[in-house]
Copies of this chain bind each other. A is one copy, B any other.
Amino acid sequence: MEEILKQVQLGTLSIEEAKGKLATYENLGFAKVDHHRKKRQGFPETIYGEGKTAEQITTIITAIQAHGDDILVTRISGEKATEVRSTHPELIYNEIAEILYTRNERKNRFANGFIAVLCAGTSDLRVAEEAAVTAEAFGCEVRRFYDVGVAGIHRLLDNIEEIQQATVSITVAGMEGALPSVVGGLVSHPVIAVPTSVGYGANFNGLSALLTMLNSCASGISVVNIDNGYGAAYSAALIHRLAQPTEEGQS
């Protein structure tokens, strides 16, 4: 801000221009698209697909692409994706993750390490894939360790040495949600825990797994919202980026 004030003082910047410098979004009427975030984070602009029509999604995509930015649409059904792709055939749709995104040539743009995505059971797959595909769209290498829930602990222990090499883990679990506690005790890197709404009875739509993860007695675990694979990947990608030598990825 000080710099802008100086330029105004020096007369090298008009008041109108100064105000423009602070304008950080484009007003589409029904939405305000933020073009600065991309620059701040180096990540594609994300659209939350649920509750938006295919038409609205298409309009926002066009606005973002006009700035040359990559696209990531989460929680978009196959039906809507097909409709959007009729005008944006360059976008790829991942059915399990329910994600529509720009083919990213810079995949694995970060040289150092990988993000481990673990899930406890096969029913947690959608959320785990939402996390994995998002992290890949953000340029991270992802390795998947699925169906490694604690009720058959050998499945986890067999893979733990590879998991320990990751910079950060995303651990997805429904039902009792105990997986992050066990993982947290076995690795030395940050663990992002994602409770899922998978379960029945006293699961209460994921509340059970959420409370388990928040109360974990293992250290180094932090938690995102129920089923929020995207949010976990976002946090994990920010952490993964920090683990890179400065010259790549971080600027």
Contact = CB atoms under 8 A, between A and B. Distances in A.
A177 B221 contact: no
B220 A235 contact: yes
A111 interface: no
B151 A153 contact: no
Given A25-B154, A222-B222, A242-B189, A31 B147 contact: yes
Q: Please state the number of chain copies in the assembly.
A: 8
A34 B224 contact: no
Contacts of A153: 153, 157, 182, 185-186
Contact of A181 (B34, B178, B215): B178
A214 B222 CA distance: 11
A192 interface: yes
Interface string A240-251: 001101000000
A151 B22 contact: no
A161 to B, nearest CB: 8
Q: Kindly name the residue among A2, A19, A219, A239 whose own CB sees the greatest number of chain B CB atoms within 10 A.
A: A219
A176 B179 CA distance: 11
A41 B120 contact: no
A54 interface: no
Interface string A18-36: 1100111100001110100
Given A208-B212, A212-B178, A224-B223, A235 B190 contact: yes
A161 B19 CA distance: 14
A215 to B, nearest CB: 4
A74 B182 CA distance: 22
A52 interface: yes
Contact of A206 (B190, B202, B213): B202
Interface in A2-47: 2, 5-6, 8-9, 11, 15, 18-19, 22-25, 30-32, 34, 37, 40-41, 46
B219 A234 contact: yes
Contacts of A151: 181-182, 184-185, 216-219
A158 interface: yes
B239 A190 contact: yes
5 contacts: A24-B154, A52-B123, A150-B150, A176-B213, A178-B216
